[in-house]
């Protein structure tokens, strides 16, 4: 037997509320993205269950690079999500499984009762916080409902919303976290063929980053996951949609309700910005969905698998010259996830490159670039251990400034032969979890010299890097607008 953890988990969804320009972000959620598409992601943990040794296989995050060729498929899963015109705030979800002799049981997390009204073939047992399902073989079905309006926090905006004629949600709101117990004596290499079917009222449209497979139907493929789960953001209903292909990536911007940012402005940024990020992170996403929503949705950005949500009032570029769109895009394309002491690395890189990429593509001049750096310095939280601090001001202001200083230090110590890009690309090529120690080790390898002193000073002691070199372009009186 062999357990597979299957989760509709997406990019880390660390809080990216840009609503108040780096001031009041909510508490970041713990990193939830499981490892990506690499063999080490199969975190093998020996656990004795029912007298047998089982292996925990983590579901990869999927969707980077070319779409994976499905392996030999031994069973099929058809997910149906239905939204009805008379009550668009509820989703009716059904799983139809076929050829599942190798599936012994499935455990689903009910997430505080968000998933309810479970019905299933075979046997279903509701327990504290989860249900356990022993589907009848060879065919099984499961159904449940889930509300489509969900607040990000007690006082926060909604990260899933259903209006009268549109819905903006993501897979994690429709599919509970699940663990599958396979019987390996029936089929040692069980692998699913999975589809997502969306049933919506007449005249409604459907947008998803998943590969289309007919009208309102999608292929669900999670490379190296045996029980594929739908992922990413999903927009249903009446909404505006614009598509463009940028360097082999099909980019869609969907907009529900009245929003300030136009798809044209987003495409203008991505035309040059996306290729920069795909090269930096050594990934080529096949599809990218950017879904914009209005109030009362969360006034920030949230990254998902091959997709991200952005509040429609968030600008392409903030007054302090950072870009919420490039920041989220970095998260979407980045195949690594942060370890417990390295959220500063992920956030620092996403925010630093949201400025640096603009400089490279010529939309930010030197003055604007320096202004962003001074803003990081002024709004940062200093003299704290980066590896132990969760405050937003540290992760999204202090950390990007330290990334800038680190880039300069690597350039200086290698006579411009290397820079921070080389570190980021190498980490991305290896994937997996990035810890502070692994980040430091990669810097050392790229630079060919120890960076212990730099990390001690600027990461563990949290000292602010000097901005003395920016003096010649200072214009501090003009910087009070944030």
Q: Under the rule (CB under 5 A), what is the footprint of Zn ion?
A: 14, 16, 347, 350
In sequence order, the 6+-apart residues with CB closer than 8 A to the CB of 224 are 37, 41, 42, 60, 68
- Work out how close the CB of 314 gets to Zn ion at its nearest, in angstroms, rounded to a whole number: 13
Strand pairing of 2-6 and 178-182?
antiparallel
Least distance CB 339 / Zn ion (angstroms): 16
CA dist., res. 191 & res. 224, Å (int): 9
Least distance (Å) between residue 327 CB and Zn ion: 6
- Residue 45 CA, chain-centre distance (Å), reads 25
Considering the complex, state which of residue 103 and residue 399 has its C-beta at the smaller distance from Zn ion. Answer: 399
Query: Least Å distance between CB 395 and Zn ion?
Result: 8
How far apart (Å, rounded) are the C-alpha atoms in residues 57 and 214?
A: 31
User: Which of 187, 320 has the CB closer to Zn ion?
Assistant: 320
Angle at 180 between CA 84 and CA 124, to 5 degrees: 60
Rounded CA separation 285/328 (Å): 14
Give 366's strand partners.
none
Query: Residue 374 in 3-state DSSP?
Result: helix
State the residue number with the nearest CB to Zn ion.
16
What is d(CA 443, CA 446) in angstroms, rounded to the nearest whole number?
5
Closer of 146 and 375 to Zn ion (Cβ): 375
Q: Is the dihedral of CA 246, 368, 389, 112 positive or negative?
A: negative
Identify which of residues 26 and 88 has a Cβ nearer to Zn ion in the complex.
26
Residue 261 or 303: the one with the smaller Cβ distance to Zn ion is: 303
Inter-helix orientation angle 263-280/324-333, to 10°: 40
What are the tokens at 24? 């009041």
Q: Give the chain's end-to-end CA distance (angstroms, integer).
A: 56
Q: Which is nearer to Zn ion, 63 or 334 (CB)?
A: 334
CB 257 to Zn ion: min, Å = 24
Please name which of 441, 439, 341 lies closest in space to residue 385, comparing C-alpha atoms.
341
Taking the least distance from each CB to Zn ion, the nearer of 102 and 356 is: 356
> In this structure, what are the phi and psi dihedrals at residue 146, rounded to the nearest 5 degrees?
-150, 140
Nearer Cβ to Zn ion (228/347)? 347
CB of 333 vs Zn ion, minimal distance in Å: 13
Q: Please report how close the Cβ of residue 13 comes to Zn ion at its closest, in angstroms.
A: 9
Q: How far is the CB of 350 from Zn ion (least distance, A)?
A: 5
Angle between helices 366-379 and 343-360 (to 10 degrees): 160
Q: What separation in angstroms does the CA of 417 have from each of 356, 412, 438?
A: 18, 9, 21
Nearest to 16, CA basis, from 256, 225, 322, 423: 322
Q: Which residues lie across from 125 on neighbouring strands?
A: 132
Considering the complex, state which of residue 439 and residue 454 has its C-beta at the smaller distance from Zn ion: 439
Give the residue with the Cβ less far from Zn ion, 34 or 162.
34
Cβ proximity to Zn ion, 16 vs 150, nearer residue:
16
CA distance 38 to 46: 20
DSSP state of 482: -
């Amino acid at each position: 037997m062999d357990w597979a953890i299957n989760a509709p988990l997406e990019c880390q969804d660390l809080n990216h509320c840009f609503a108040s320009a780096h001031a009041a972000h909510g508490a970041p959620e713990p990193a939830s993205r499981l490892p990506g598409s690499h063999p080490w992601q199969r975190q093998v943990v020996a656990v004795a269950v029912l007298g047998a040794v089982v292996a925990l296989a983590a579901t990869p995050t999927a969707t980077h690079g070319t779409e994976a060729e499905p392996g030999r498929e031994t069973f099929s899963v058809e997910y149906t999500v239905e939204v009805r015109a008379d009550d668009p705030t509820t989703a009716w979800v059904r799983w139809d499984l076929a050829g599942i002799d190798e599936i012994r049981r499935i455990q689903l997390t009910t997430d505080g009762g968000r998933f309810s009204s479970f019905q299933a073939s075979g046997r279903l047992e509701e327990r504290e916080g989860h249900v356990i399902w022993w589907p009848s073989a060879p065919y099984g079905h499961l159904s449940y409902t889930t509300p489509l309006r969900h607040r990000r926090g007690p006082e926060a905006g909604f990260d899933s919303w259903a209006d009268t004629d549109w819905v903006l949600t993501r897979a994690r709101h429709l599919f509970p976290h699940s663990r599958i117990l396979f019987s390996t004596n029936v089929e040692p290499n069980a692998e699913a063929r999975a589809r997502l079917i969306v049933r919506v009222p007449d005249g409604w449209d459907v947008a998803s980053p998943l590969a289309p497979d007919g009208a309102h139907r999608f292929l669900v493929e999670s490379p190296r996951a045996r029980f594929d789960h739908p992922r990413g953001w999903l927009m249903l209903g009446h909404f505006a949609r614009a598509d463009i292909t940028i360097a082999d990536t099909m980019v869609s911007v969907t907009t529900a309700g009245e929003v300030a940012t136009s798809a044209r402005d987003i495409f203008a940024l991505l035309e040059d910005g996306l290729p920069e990020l795909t090269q930096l992170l050594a990934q080529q996403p096949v599809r990218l969905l950017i879904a914009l929503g209005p109030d009362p949705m969360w006034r920030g950005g949230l990254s998902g698998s091959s997709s991200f949500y952005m509040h429609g009032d968030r600008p392409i570029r903030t007054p302090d010259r950072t870009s919420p769109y490039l920041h989220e895009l970095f998260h979407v394309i980045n195949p690594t996830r942060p370890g417990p002491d390295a959220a500063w690395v992920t956030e620092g890189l996403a925010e630093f490159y949201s400025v640096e990429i603009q400089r490279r593509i010529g939309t930010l001049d030197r003055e604007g670039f320096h202004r962003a750096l001074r803003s990081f310095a002024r709004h940062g939280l200093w003299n704290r251990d980066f590896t132990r601090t969760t405050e937003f001001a540290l992760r999204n202001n202090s950390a990007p400034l330290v990334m800038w200083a680190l880039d300069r230090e690597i350039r200086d110590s290698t006579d411009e032969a290397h820079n921070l890009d080389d570190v980021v690309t190498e980490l991305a090529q290896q994937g997996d979890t990035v810890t502070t120690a692994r980040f430091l080790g990669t810097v050392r390898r790229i630079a060919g010299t120890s960076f212990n002193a730099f990390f001690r000073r600027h990461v563990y002691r949290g000292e602010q890097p000097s901005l003395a070199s920016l003096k010649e372009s200072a214009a501090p009186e003009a910087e009070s607008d944030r």
